Structure 1
Amino acid sequence: MKDEKSLRFVSMPLDKPTVFVIDDDISIRESLELLIAHAGWQPRTFASAEDFLSYPRAIVPCCLVLDVNLPELNGLDLQTRVAMERADMPIIFITGYGDIPTSVRAMKAGAMEFLTKPFADDALLEAIEDAIRRSCDAIKRQQAGDEVRTRYTSLTPRERDVMGLVVAGLLNKQVGSELGITEITVKAHRGKVMQKMGARSLADLVRLAEKITR
C-alpha cells in the first residue's frame, strides 16, 4: 500500500448513520451489508484497508466494523490510523482467529467491542448502536468546538489579549496594567468579548476558552 494514502473526508448529504465494514471474505461482507441495511443504517463494505482509505467519507455519525486479519495493512494498524485521523469513528473488531493478546491490544487502543466469528447478530447490532451513539456525541462536541473557534476568530487582537488575561483570573485593573490601557477600556473590550463569544458570565467564558485549546 502506498504510504501517502490517508483518510479523506468530504461533505456528503446522507440521511442515515453509516456503518463501514472491512472484511476480505465476500460472504461476510454481503451478510453484514444485509444485516446493517435491515437495521436501518447505511452500509459501506470494503475488501481491504486500502480500499477503505481510498474512499471519501462524509462527516456523519458512523462506525467501523473491522476484521483483524486483513491483507497488507491489518486491522490493528488501521485502528491506529483511524484513531489519529478520525477519532469520532468508533471501531468494532470482528475476527475468526481471536486471541487474548490481540483483543487486549485492540481494546486498550480504544476499540468498542471485539467479537469472535461466528457471533450473534444481536451482539453486533447492539455494539453498532452504541458506537453510532458515541459517534453522534463526538460529532456534536466537535461542532460545538468549531463554533466556539469561529467566534474566537471574530475577536480583534486586543480583545483576544483581554480575554486571555480575564480567563486567567486577572481583574480589570490588572488587565489594564498588563496591557497598558485604562480600566474603562478594558471593560469595553471585555463587554465586546462576552458579546462575541456568547458568554453570559465569566464561568461561561472560561469554559469556552477551554474548548478553543482542545
Structure 2
Amino acid sequence: MVFIVEDDVSMRRSLTNLFKQVGLNAVTFGSAREMLQSKLPDVVSCLVLDVRLPGVSGLDFQSELAKLNIKIPVIFITGHGDIPMSVRAMKGGAVDFLTKPFRDQELLDAVLAAAEQDRKRRSAEQIVTHLRSLFEALSPREQEVMKLVATGLMNKQIAAELGLAEITVKIYRGHVMKKMRARSLAELITMAATLGFRANRTEQT
C-alpha cells in the first residue's frame, strides 16, 4: 500500500496511475491532517510525501509521525527542494528525497525499497512480540533464571545468586528452554538479547 500526501490533484492522479500500472494500491490525501484523521490499514506500506503542503508541511509531518510512533517509511517529493531540506528529511529517517521532475523508475525504486524496509520492520516486531508473550508466560523465578543465563552465568553461579540449589536451577533452566522453545543455549541467549536482556552483567537492568 502506498499512501500519497500531495495537494496537487493532477499529481495525485498521476502517481496513483503510475502505482496501479505496477500492481501497487495507492490511497491519496490532500494534506497531512487528512491522512492523520483517516483510519489507515495495518499493512506493509510507505508514504510518498510532498514537502510543501497546506497547513502542516511535509517535514513537520515527518516529525509528527515520529512523535506518534508511526513508523511508516517516507519518500519525499518536491519541486522546491534544497540541501537543508534534504538533510533534515534524511536525518529524520526518510528513504529518499526526490526533486520534481523525477523519473518514474526513481520513484518506483524508492517505493520498493521503502516497502521492503517496512516489511522487515514488521517481521522483526512480530518476532519480539512472540518472544515477549513466551517470556511473560514464564513464572517469576523462571524469568529470573533466564535473565541470569543471558548474563553468561553458569548454573552454580545462578544458584548462589538466587539462593537455590544447583539442581533446582537446572530444573528451572530446563523449563525455560522448553517454554521459550529454544533448541540450544545459544538460541536462548539470542532470544534474551532480542528481548533486551544484555549479556554484560554490569549493564543488566
TM-score scaled by structure 1? 0.88
Residue in structure 1 matching 2:116, options 127, 133, 138: 133
Deviations 1:20-76, CA, capped at 9 Å, x for gaps = 000011111111111112211110100000011112223211000000011221111
Deviation at 1:168, TM superposition (A): 0.8
Counterpart amino acid of 2:163?
Answer: G
CA RMSD of aligned residues (A): 1.3
Deviations 1:167-208, CA, capped at 9 Å, x for gaps = 111111111111111111111110010111121222211111
The alignment status of 1:64 with 2:44, answered yes or no, reads: no
Q: Which runs of 5+ in 2 are unaligned?
A: 198-205
Q: Is the 8 A contact 1:167 1:202 kept in 2?
A: no
The alignment status of 1:52 with 2:62, answered yes or no, reads: no
For residue 33 of structure 1, what is the aligned residue in structure 2? Answer: 16
For residue 147 of structure 2, what is the aligned residue in structure 1? Answer: 164
Counterpart amino acid of 1:102?
Answer: M
For residue 116 of structure 1, what is the aligned residue in structure 2? Answer: 99
Once residues 193 and 149 of structure 2 are traced to their aligned partners in structure 1, the CA distance between those partners, rounded to angstroms, is 13
Deviations 1:120-155, CA, capped at 9 Å, x for gaps = 111111111111111111111111111111111110
Once residues 79 and 12 of structure 2 are traced to their aligned partners in structure 1, the CA distance between those partners, rounded to angstroms, is 14
Residue in structure 2 matching 1:86, options 67, 70, 73: 70
Q: Is the 8 A contact 1:23 1:47 kept in 2?
A: yes
Once residues 86 and 195 of structure 1 are traced to their aligned partners in structure 2, the CA distance between those partners, rounded to angstroms, is 35
Deviations 1:88-136, CA, capped at 9 Å, x for gaps = x211000011111101111121111111112111111111111111111
Q: How many residues align?
A: 196
| 3-state SS of paired residue (2:175) | helix
Moved over 2 A (4+): 81-84
Q: Which runs of 5+ in 1 are unaligned?
A: 1-17
| 3-state SS of paired residue (1:57) | coil
The alignment status of 1:152 with 2:130, answered yes or no, reads: no
